[in-house]
Amino acid sequence: MPRMNRRWIVVACVLPFALLGRPGMAADLRVSVVSPRVGLLFTDDETPDVRALVENAPGPVTLAWHVWETEGPWQREGRMDLPVEQGRGEQSIPLGLPGRGHYTLSLRAVSGAAVAAAKTSLGIVFPPAPTNAGAPWGIFHIPNPIGDPDDPLGARAAAQSMRLLGASWARLNFWNQSYDGIDITRKDGRIAVKADTGRWKTYARALRDEGIHIMGEIAQCPTVLSSRREDMARKPEMGPLANRTKPRDYAEWDALMTALAADFKDEIEVWEIWNEPDDRDGFWVGTAEEFAELVHHTSTALRRGNPDARIACSGFVESWDFADRLLTLGVGKDMDILSVHYTNHDPRGIERWKAVLKKHGLDMPLWNTEERAEVPLENLAAEMPVTFKFLHVNIGYAAYRPLVNKDFTPNPSALWFATGAHCLGDAAFVRRIEGLPAYDGYLFRRGEEEVVAFQIQPYHDIFGPETVTEAMLAVDPLETGVPPTLTDRFGRSRTVVVTDGKARVSFDAGLMFLNGARRVEVLHAEAGPPKQARTFLFEAEAGRTTAGWTVSRRDAYSGGSFVQIWTDEEPGARGHAVEVDMAVPEPGRYDVFFSGNRLTRLGTPRSISSFTWTIDGGAPHLVDQATPGMPNVANAGDGLFRIGQVDLAAGKHRFVLRLAVRRETPDTHYALWFDAVVLHKVGDGAGDSRSRGR
């Protein structure tokens, strides 16, 4: 594994304290963690080189250190004296890590009356397999200038981090700021466009030096080429409107796209056109017809610059109607890949994307170019060739679990991704494994090896109080004398003992991979004792409704019925409302779930009405943003969607849902299906009846 030439200093947190009686020295003592390895990420075949560095020490330093395992019992601590010369000292820390996993390391340095502290994270992963264009493991690249004189753009550090994590693909977006200058010249009726993309070339070359394949994305229109170049109205995350619209002159645009594809011909093999154009007034502010025109020009120009490039279109987010409209306009001839976002939570959504392609007679792969899940088992089961984890460097978006921090130190999610990439690699999905209470089983094949992933179902105890604790498997080891292994999501492995072709496996982790078997079959699963009910469901059709609501029958919904509304009428004084009485048997804190329409449809353009909910006349809580749900929950229709949390006393309560606004597509009516409100106890809570939205 390549190393950087200089020592990389990681400082996650430094906390100096006062040095009594020594003005000017109090805030100067510093302690940090340093290593030749960027990001403190190591493989299990090397000894981690991790050191403590103190600076500006007024005298001898005593260092106390403590390291502990994430979601595990292992920990270790120690003390040592650091030799100091001219206020500076450095010494290796004898961590003695037990193996693969994610760890937190804290330091506390004392020099006289001065105290300083630091805290950071580190990880041990499998040695990554060689990159493979046929492997599904991609990461959304985030440029991250880190101020290293040997790597001023952070390009090499980012590429090395991705490679250590097992990525074979990177998504490299071209935004307005990707161009440090664009020159347009016209001569003899011809247009030439020259763009300075030197920084992005550095990123691309660093990725290719690590063997990582690249999908470039044309994410925005540069301001200088925009048809609305003076409009700097911004939206959070999306940038000025000038960058979210069509170019002013397609001759200029085509020239830039051709030059870009030719310039990056040796680095970028797939180009994606735009990002989430179905997010109305978001990343794209034009019409579907204008977007189809943009795709045609961009695809044609990119292929002119690099005839071997493949074209992906266009990072859609659950707007099947918008994609269908584009394909009706003929966009299919301009693309080789249909790219979508955030599908791993919704297998039925994946099937809808496939149905859109089938409707238009298109035989092309479906890629996911932004995904929350570190190990996207549903995407893999749907045979998506590539999924790109959103995102690499933590620039925000905490709910999406970024892989590493800005200093490239790993978050737990980095270990989860790396473990999945190692254990599954380019294995092909074969079938699902049934008969495991509260777990989903996925069987893959890689050569002669069968690999199994066992993943606990989200909120598995809502409708399934029993959880598998052990299973008897029929196992045929891949190699004689070499036992299979069971690995958890942090990369921690244990041997599977096979006796007479059978093995008993304990289900003690939420995600586990079984490797090293030629054949695997579940013979019997043992569930633990039934748990006390913690979930209570209250049917909407049993409640009281205002005018406009009707009861409909459908077997897939709890009780076989739900209430629905579709009306152009404005609400009366009570609003378009449903009141549901709830008898709560015990006090506590409860997650509140909505069952009815898929709340992902609250994304723009909104195809259902947003709504508010209250309990016992408390403060209303607005539900107006696309919310990922829990798919495949029996009798929950389109899934369960968490909408808040409350503290409730035992007894009777009243839940009221009121529509807030009209939907935006395919009409502007008030519209919603409401099946049930579900309470799932998560703690003892405060025991009162006040609702507390979270």
More confident residue, 5 or 197: 197
* H or E element at residue 251: helix 250-263
For domain 535-683, the CATH class is: mainly beta
pLDDT of residue 438: 81
Among 283, 292, 288, 278, smallest CA distance to 245 is for 283
Domain 8-125 is found in CATH 3.50.50.60: no
Those residues with Cβ within 8 angstroms of residue 555's Cβ, 6 or more apart along the chain or in another chain: none
Share of the chain above pLDDT 90, in %: 76
Give the pLDDT confidence of 226-262 residue by residue, as tens digits.
Answer: 999 998 988 877 889 999 999 999 999 999 999 999 9
pLDDT of residue 157: 96
Among 331, 330, 384, 334, smallest CA distance to 354 is for 384
Give the pLDDT confidence of 442-462 residue by residue, as tens digits.
Answer: 999 999 999 999 998 866 666
Checking if the pLDDT of 583 tops 50, the result is yes
CA pair distance 367, 350, nearest whole angstrom? 10
pLDDT of residue 502: 96
CATH of domain 429-527: 2.60.40
Indicate the domain borders of the chain. 8-125, 141-392, 429-527, 535-683
DSSP 521-538: EEEEEEE-PPPPP-EEEE
pLDDT of residue 463: 59
Give the pLDDT confidence of 145-185 residue by residue, as tens digits.
Answer: 988 888 999 999 999 999 999 999 999 999 999 999 999 99
pLDDT of residue 461: 60
What is the second-level CATH architecture of the domain 141-392? Alpha-Beta Barrel (3.20)
Q: Provide the 3-class DSSP secondary structure of residue 492.
A: coil
Check if the beta carbon of residue 457 is closer than 8 Å to that of residue 464.
Answer: yes
For the chain, give the number of residues.
Answer: 694
Q: Between β-strands 89-92 and 61-69, what pairing exists: parallel, antiparallel or unpaired?
A: unpaired
- Tell me the pTM: 0.83
Strand order in the sheet with 75-82: 41-43, 114-125, 101-111, 61-69, 75-82
Please compute the mean of the pLDDT values over residues 533-556 and round it to a whole number: 88
Kindly indicate the confidence band of residue 690, based on its pLDDT and cuts at 50, 70 and 90: very low
CA pair distance 550, 547, nearest whole angstrom? 9
pLDDT of residue 297: 98
Query: Are both 8-125 and 535-683 of the same fold?
Result: no
Cα–Cα separations (whole angstroms), residue 652 to 555, 562, 592: 29, 22, 16
Checking if the pLDDT of 495 tops 90, the result is yes
